Structure 1
Amino acid sequence: MKTTISIEKTKSERTRHPEDQLGFGKYFADHMFIAEYSEGSWKEARIVPYGPLSLDPGASVFHYGQALFEGMKAFRGQNDRIHLFRPDFHVRRLAHGAEKLCMPSVPAELFTEAVEALVKVDSSWIPKSEGSALYLRPTLIGTESFLGVRPSQKYLFFIITSPVGPYYSEGFNPVKIWIERSRVRAAVGGLGDIKAGANYAASLAASTAAKKKDFAQVLWLDSMERKYIEEVGTMNVFFKINDEVITPALNGSILAGATRDCVIQLLKSWNIPVTERKISIDEVFDAHKTGQLKEVFGSGTAAVVSSVGELADQDHRITINNNQVGDLTKKLLNEITSIQLGKKSDPFGWVKVLES
């Protein structure tokens, strides 16, 4: 059954910025989508001008952390058509996260129709330059006003959009990653495998400290032994050791990334050995010492595929591939972005082309 979405167009357009000055997540488009949940159903689905939300100070999201989000992109593809990348994946991941946080799931039809309607309304905000996109942030929060540890009975689902360029200031050049040895982002059985706001709050101190050392992000290790690699703060991570690509197995504390899944599918289709398993930071250092570590790269919706040129902690500092983007990293980035833009065929069914 098609969702009825009312649309109120803005009377005052927001300021637009040159595409080469967008950065990531700094500017927002003209409209946003909102729907409210109470008494067992979603109501009042609507697109309205972008603006502040009105929330009671006692709302659950402020006191008990019921906050969950997704990150996805829309592109201006071939023949000026709008391409959404893997919307079905994000529908499923939001539903998984909602279950963990005791929140009502957003029906797939509501999620999909809201995204499509909002992107069409703000289609003029989709950048056209290489490496840019319209980033979408679907968000689910508890809004009931109460003080007491229980799930909220009211929720807000909203979507905002932001025209963006490359995630890292380095663009597509290799980034430097700091290995976090003391702090912990997530533990098995916790919230590490969903995009809960609490996960990112837990990462801020470490990422801020890393940036003060001139590192772009943090590489997190497991919470028990502090030796097994989990993920970078904004990306899943891959290591090319000799001819094999290794990435940490999803263990309940690692986010299942949409782009991670793309990378694995592509590698398998190219008959490149790819293994999901535990990998320790010591194994990586040993592989570097013996010349077997060929490439390190991260994958994520924001960064797509990002080369890692340096890994360091208090006692180690290694440079990977002479701080150059590796051939496999280049190939993966080119393949994924070409599929996103419709420059290459999409044998995996990742792209949804919106009809005008």
Structure 2
Amino acid sequence: MSRPLDIVVLGLSLSSSWGNGHATTFRALLRGLRAEGHKVLFLERDVPWYAAQRDLPDPDFCELSYYHGVDEFIALFRRRLISADAVIIGSYVPEGAAIIDAVAALRPRLLCFYDIDTPVTLAKLGRKDEEYVAGRQMSLFDIYFSFSGGEVIDRLEADYGVVQGKALYCSVDAERYGNTGEVPEWDLGYLGTYSADRQPALEKLLIEPARRLPTMRFVVAGPRYPAEIEWPANVARIEHLPPADHPSFYSRQRFTLNVTRADMSAAGWSPSVRLFEAAACRTPIISDFWRGLDEVFPKDKTIIIARDAAEVVEALTRLPAEKRRRMADAAYQIVCNGHTGRARAKQLVSALINCRQEADQSAQGISA
């Protein structure tokens, strides 16, 4: 497979970034694949929620097609699924378990899973919740690409029968993310859809510091926050921020906050796309702690780890501007060197090629 690859991806959404983190992850990866010369068809369930909120209805870096149900999906794309070099099914695809069974029955050249929610997936399987992948299906995939790395990969293989687990972190499109040079408008900001398990950390690391620092300015961008949340007067709210506006948003913050979902924090080794986006914009990052974070962004050299409101207040009021700039520059270099969409695309393609070669060699050995 040294020629350009033909890849089919089934994901939650590419066309709409509203209320999900999948779209930006797929966009960076697929743009990287296009830059590397590969061909991608992205298949998305046509659901009303995303249909009404599409901010990328016609991407220029891949084909994008829609379907309404499993039977229609197979009828429309059967030949392409069979002929593709690889079929990659993502997490949270509607009727995902049925989709996986239908695609596996076609015996594609390579069948892979891209879990952008690995710790959530494992927690769901532990509760016998098989919303988008079943436990019996974990061994069907030639490669199980995981949003989480480290010990999570060992667990996938040892406890769930995954044949080959590979960490494939999210990434950032370096050509679309960078500092805009705008004057800082907020001292600390946060970008993320409301999540009940993230809210306590947001309360501790942004809302409480805002109460303690009434002369400073804060901002929270993202949908679905309950109306009953009592925001301090110095916390601005933005309901939705499309990806095209992310660089400006980050560039207008003195610091940005990263908060991790409970399942991902417990699992560790699960860097959010917001970390890479903020670093690409040279915005200093304050983050909650999880195992593996300092393997991506070394503590105190590239990122500030805060465990309570007092540590956030300390950073906002006492960190010298020069040190803040040095940390942001160091994080920027880390992202540019290994966490762009193109870098991630190279990792994906290398894994696919190696897997196919190993399968071919194994088949030759059996036939001999």
TM-score, L = length of structure 2: 0.32
* Structure with more helix by fraction: 2
TM-score, L = length of structure 1: 0.33
